[in-house]
């Protein structure tokens, strides 16, 4: 049985170059190629018959001639020289190669040396190196180690020849990463080459024989042959059917045919036919069927998959494996206003899209990624209603009835009652935020989707409540958020459960209202001082024991100490004075002056600072007795006088 690899033959870049040459060729008006257009002598010979002349040097190209640049690209000075000669230049450089040119130029401008993994002297590598101030080329591991001996401490930017063998490239990258601290690695292996090599490796592992078709001068064909030879016991490398050796092939054997990126379809067809005729197998698809797949015309509304080959400001180019070129306008990539093309689409990426319009005359197909994504995303949202899977969206709009979230590019309405905000609260706090929500209703006919943030918040709250009541104990500390005030205290959310901090537990000092100490939304550390599991009530404390002013007083002052105090209140029997914030002492009326007085205000004023002597401390009742008289006369009031 023989399998024809799906990715055998022309890649996008080669097919593009050959088509450009064929479309512009004219026997009576020669088109010159600056070097072999691609690495395949059969194609070069066919093009020569059409009027495409291969020039090995620029001197062979007449002034004012039409010139096509090869798929591998050329050094920039060659293009400048051609323009100086008055030539009309058609640039058929492969988009993948052109991307490497841009990287090399930009990295060189930054003062970085550019390390190229590739075959020295290969036209593509020559073109890349010509765009670098300091090009370093490594074809073998020995080359790389020699370069790193000198350049490992310098800033290096690493690119790879598009057709370089991926396994070797990965090995080289690991060496660079382990050796250099400031290396910048760029993935520049052609996606088509990568897929071709991966497919060939998979086929080689399960095959008895393989045939690789390509020109000996083709680097990617040689890499493909080496890869197949490493995994398959018998591999032939041929340029065409005339070089095939079919000796020993039997119906029972498993084999496959693949071809390098520069191999035309007709040669692959000839090789495949000769092999299938030899072993008389009908189990594989015919070459005509496989070729027809690549040449078929797509139709509006079809779902297609392609590989991104180029990106510009207005659209991206996609290789669909058909004769027309596909493109997606940037406006058809996504409905998400935050979507950034550079962050989501890269050359080599595989994308799915809908065919919007086909123009066979001009040879292009317009695609839309966002329309296909929309269909998929509607299906995802419909499934989420049944599965109750949480979705994530950005709040992008608001109205009187609620807010609108963008979920997978689809507008989801969230009623005010389902936002999780208090009634009459402003929606501004939700705007431009990312929220988790549940999809509760999807109506595809009316294009209406309804969601709820509150549903998930309630579920999370119930789970948190259950967890807290399983573990909570008196004395445990929690990080909470102030939810609301009352005249007698504060409600604090400790992770799904609200607890009450009584106003007396807010501060060791006097508090007129909770807002004097805390604010709504403030994060606070609280501790449990009482529990009532049956009524689901929790009493919390906020003031800290170490901040208790009485503790500070006891550790600082003693009887007979003199303190400077502030008069804060008058009573008929004396005056209260603040010793420390939160700690007051009593100056009995008999201890205010060195004479008998009728009222404290005969001598003192509210707010007045005076020195007083501590004449008594009752730790149990937390009371302090002070005396001004003791400082004036050297003695306290007589017991009889104090009693009166």
Which residues are annotated as catalytic? Answer: 124
- At 439 the three-state DSSP class reads strand
635 with 627: CB under 8 angstroms?
A: no
Gap between the Cα atoms of 643 and 566, Å rounded = 24
Diameter of the chain measured on Cα atoms: 138
Classified as helix, coil or strand, 97 is helix
Q: Give how far Cα 77 sits from Cα of 47, 125, 469, Å.
A: 26, 15, 77
On whether the CB atoms of residues 567 and 605 are closer than 8 A, the answer is: yes
Measured distance CA(193)–CA(8) in Å, rounded: 10
- Residue 319's beta-bridge partner residues? 307
Strands, sheet with 66-69, edge to edge from the N-terminal-most edge strand = 52-55, 31-34, 66-69, 88-91
Measured CA to CA, the distance from residue 341 to residue 339 in angstroms comes to 6
Contact by Cβ (8 Å): 358, 299: yes
SS3 133: coil
Spacing of C-alpha 155 from chain mean position: 26
Closest among 461, 436, 439, 467 to 451, alpha carbons compared: 439
Sort 589 into a burial class: Cβ within 10 Å, 0-12 / 13-18 / 19+: buried
Residues linked to residue 113 through DSSP beta bridges, in sequence order: 156
Q: Which helix (H) or strand (E) holds 611?
A: strand 609-618
CA–CA distance, 512 with 358 (Å, rounded to integer): 77
């Amino acid at each position: 049985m023989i399998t024809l690899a799906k990715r055998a033959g022309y890649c996008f870049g080669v097919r593009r170059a050959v088509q450009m040459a064929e479309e512009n060729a004219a026997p009576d008006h020669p088109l010159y190629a600056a070097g072999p257009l691609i690495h395949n002598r059969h194609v070069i010979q066919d093009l020569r018959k059409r009027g495409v002349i291969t020039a090995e040097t620029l001197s062979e190209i007449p002034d004012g001639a039409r010139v096509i640049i090869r798929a591998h690209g050329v050094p920039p000075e060659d293009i400048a020289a051609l323009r100086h000669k008055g030539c009309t230049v058609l640039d058929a450089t492969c988009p993948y190669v052109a991307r490497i040119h841009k990287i090399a130029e930009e990295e060189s401008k930054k003062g970085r040396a550019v390390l190229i993994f590739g075959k020295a002297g290969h036209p593509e590598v020559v073109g890349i190196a010509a765009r670098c101030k300091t090009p370093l080329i490594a074809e073998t591991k020995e080359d790389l180690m020699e370069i790193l001996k000198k350049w490992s401490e310098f800033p290096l930017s690493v690119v790879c020849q598009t057709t370089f063998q991926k396994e070797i490239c990965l090995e080289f990258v690991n060496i660079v990463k382990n050796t250099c601290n400031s290396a910048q690695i760029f993935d520049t292996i052609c996606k088509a080459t990568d897929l071709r090599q991966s497919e060939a490796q998979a086929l080689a592992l399960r095959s008895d024989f393989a045939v690789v078709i390509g020109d000996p001068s083709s680097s990617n064909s040689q890499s493909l042959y080496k890869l197949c030879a490493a995994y398959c016991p018998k591999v032939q490398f041929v340029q065409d059917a005339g070089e095939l050796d079919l000796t020993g092939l039997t119906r029972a054997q498993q084999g496959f045919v693949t071809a390098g990126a520069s191999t035309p379809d007709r040669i692959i067809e000839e090789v495949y036919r000769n092999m299938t005729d030899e072993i008389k197998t009908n189990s594989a698809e015919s070459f005509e069927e496989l070729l027809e797949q690549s040449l078929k015309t797509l139709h509006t509304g079809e779902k297609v998959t392609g590989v991104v080959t180029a990106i510009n400001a207005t659209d991206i180019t996609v290789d669909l494996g058909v004769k027309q070129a596909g493109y997606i306008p940037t406006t058809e990539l996504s409905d998400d206003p935050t979507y950034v093309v550079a962050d989501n689409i890269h050359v080599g990426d595989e994308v799915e899209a809908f065919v919007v319009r086909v123009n066979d005359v001009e040879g292009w197909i317009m695609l839309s990624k966002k329309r296909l994504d929309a269909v998929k995303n509607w299906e995802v949202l419909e499934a989420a209603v049944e599965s109750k899977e949480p979705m994530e969206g950005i709040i992008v709009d608001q109205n009187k009835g609620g807010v609108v979230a963008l979920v997978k590019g689809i507008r989801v309405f969230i009623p005010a009652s389902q936002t999780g905000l208090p009634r009459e609260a402003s929606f501004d706090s939700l705007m431009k935020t990312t929220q988790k929500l549940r999809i509760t209703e999807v109506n595809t006919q009316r294009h209406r989707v309804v969601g709820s943030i509150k549903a998930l918040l309630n579920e999370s709250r119930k789970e948190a409540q259950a967890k807290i009541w399983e573990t909570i104990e008196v004395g445990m500390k929690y990080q909470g958020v102030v939810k609301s005030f009352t005249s007698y205290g504060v409600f604090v959310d400790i992770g799904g459960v609200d607890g009450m901090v009584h106003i007396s537990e807010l501060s060791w000092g006097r508090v007129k209202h909770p807002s004097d100490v805390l604010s709504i939304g403030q994060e606070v550390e609280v501790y449990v001082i009482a529990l009532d599991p049956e009524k689901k009530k929790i009493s919390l404390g906020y003031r800290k024991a170490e901040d208790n002013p009485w503790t500070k007083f006891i550790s600082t002052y003693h009887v007979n100490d003199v303190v400077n105090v502030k008069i804060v209140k008058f009573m008929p029997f004396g005056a209260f004075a603040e010793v420390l914030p939160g700690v007051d002492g009593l100056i009995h009326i008999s201890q205010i002056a060195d004479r008998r007085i009728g009222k404290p205000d005969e001598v003192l004023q509210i707010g007045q600072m005076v020195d007083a002597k501590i004449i008594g401390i009752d730790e149990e009742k937390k009371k302090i007795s002070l005396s001004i008289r003791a400082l004036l006369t050297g003695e306290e009031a007589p017991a009889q006088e104090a009693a009166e």
